[in-house]
């Protein structure tokens, strides 16, 4: 309970909002109150700028080299961590859209390359179905009798990034895998890649997203105008940085795990 409360209060922008409230309460003390109000107001404004969100995202998305198909490596597998599920009014379970995007890209890449494909995700909040099973079913990675199709492995115990790497480890070792191609959300690459490196794997990223580019009526000014998209980008990136720090403090990762390793070399 206390850990969950700490995580909720540490989630950006909540700390800044709390500081802003403290500044208002101490407004009559100019050195403390007005300083806090000024600093936190500017910080909140900065977080709402899309250009700041993109700047915060950049180190996370580039934390693993992109997979280079021109460099052959037979000891390679694809890993897709899931991204949540939800139930409807009838009790049926559905995969979140982000999970569908990842798994569909993984399926296409698996069919193109023939590499083994791992879909990993358990029941992080006590769901009656695992994320991996629901997501794999949604993109056609299981047969009519519920078994994974040839070359696909479904792991249903992991609840977070460090458990995803730990759950995938015995499967990857059994397959003789040394190099993992990760398919996940761009900002999740850093934490997930580091979790896999912790077990000694080389990690590359495969990003296949054909999102429609929205029309920007503000043109070149759009990145510098505060918006909900800017705040969403900034807070999403901040959560990943907090998650990485939390993993380091808990010993799930070491600083060396965060460093890029070179992609597989030719054999």
Predicted local distance difference test score (pLDDT) of residue 267: 41
Predicted local distance difference test score (pLDDT) of residue 72: 75
Predicted local distance difference test score (pLDDT) of residue 1: 56
% pLDDT > 90, the chain: 68
d(CA 174, CA 208): 28
Predicted local distance difference test score (pLDDT) of residue 261: 66
Predicted local distance difference test score (pLDDT) of residue 111: 95
Three-state DSSP class for 148?
strand
pTM (global) more than 0.85? yes
Predicted local distance difference test score (pLDDT) of residue 210: 54
What would the two tokens of residue 50 be? Answer: 């899309």
Sketch out the chain's domains with CATH numbers: 69-208 (3.40.50.620)
Predicted local distance difference test score (pLDDT) of residue 58: 95
Residue closest to 228 by CA, chosen among 239, 220, 236: 236
d(CA 207, CA 239): 21
What would the two tokens of residue 89 be? Answer: 């009014």
- Specify whether the CB–CB gap between 172 and 118 falls below 8 A: yes
10-residue mean pLDDT profile of the chain (267 residues): values are: 61 80 81 86 92 95 91 90 94 94 95 96 94 96 90 96 97 96 96 97 83 61 87 93 93 93 51
- Specify whether the CB–CB gap between 123 and 130 falls below 8 A: yes
């Amino acid at each position: 309970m206390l850990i969950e409360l700490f995580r909720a209060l540490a989630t950006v922008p909540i700390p800044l909002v709390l500081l802003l409230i403290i500044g208002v309460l101490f407004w009559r003390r100019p050195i403390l109150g007005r300083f806090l109000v000024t600093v936190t107001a500017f910080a909140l404004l900065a977080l709402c700028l899309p250009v700041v969100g993109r700047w915060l995202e950049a180190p996370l998305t580039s934390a693993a080299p992109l997979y280079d198909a021109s460099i052959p490596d037979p000891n390679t597998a694809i890993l897709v961590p899931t991204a949540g599920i939800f139930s409807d009014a009838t009790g049926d379970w559905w995969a979140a859209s982000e999970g569908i995007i990842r798994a569909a890209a993984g399926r296409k890449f698996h069919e193109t390359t023939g590499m083994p494909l791992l879909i990993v995700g358990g029941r992080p909040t006590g769901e009656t179905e695992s994320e991996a099973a629901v997501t794999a079913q949604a993109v056609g990675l299981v047969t009519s009798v519920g078994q994974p199709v040839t070359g696909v492995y479904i792991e249903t115990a992991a609840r977070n990034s460090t458990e995803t790497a730990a759950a995938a480890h015995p499967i990857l070792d059994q397959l003789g895998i040394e190099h993992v191609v990760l398919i996940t959300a761009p900002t999740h690459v850093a934490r997930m890649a580091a979790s896999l490196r912790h077990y000694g794997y080389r990690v590359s990223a495969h990003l296949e997203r054909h999102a429609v580019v929205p029309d920007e009526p503000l043109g070149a000014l759009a990145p510098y105008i505060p918006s909900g998209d800017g705040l969403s980008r900034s807070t999403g990136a901040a959560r990943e940085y907090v998650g990485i720090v939390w993993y380091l403090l808990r010993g799930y990762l070491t600083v060396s795990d965060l460093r890029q390793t070179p992609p597989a070399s030719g054999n």
